[in-house]
Amino acid sequence: MGNAQAALAASRLSGKYVEQGDKEAWLALFSDVAVVQDPVGKSPLDPSGEGHSGKEAIAGFWDLIIAPGKIEFTILSSFPAGDECANLVHLVNNLPNDLKMEMDMVVVYKADNSGKISSLKAYWDFDAVQEKLMSS
């Protein structure tokens, strides 16, 4: 299996484990030196804009961002190439207090030679999502 196919397989498992709320299985998909940027760039979720580096930081990202809600993660289409896979994703995060965050995004997964995720980059507009959430 080429790295593009490994990235595709890991991306599908990542979405599955997020939906199931399976933190340990999700973390096991990542290399020890992986970086998660979700969203890419500076935001209140990542003030430095450099991402969450290493498993401990990625576990903290899970606890802060993924764990509080119940996420529906639907891959609409996938584009594997090289050692990466770009997915068009529709995400619904059902948060406490009947808040619902809904968005489309592009998520790019890069696989290392062992098939582990070395990079996850999610492209979505934090400010636009927050504005939509606050107006609902």
- The share of the chain scoring above pLDDT 70, in percent, equals 98
Residue corresponding to tokens 């484990």: 17
Phi/psi of residue 29, nearest 5 degrees: -75, -20
Q: Would you identify the CATH topology of the domain 3-135? A: Nuclear Transport Factor 2; Chain: A, (3.10.450)
- Averaged over 27-42, what is the pLDDT? 97
pLDDT of residue 80: 96
pTM for this model (two decimals): 0.94
User: Considering the chain, what percentage of its residues have pLDDT values greater than 90?
Assistant: 85
Query: 81-132, pLDDT tens digit by residue?
Result: 999 999 999 999 998 888 899 999 999 999 999 999 999 999 999 989 888 8
| H-state helical runs in 1-136 | 3-20, 23-28, 55-61, 126-135
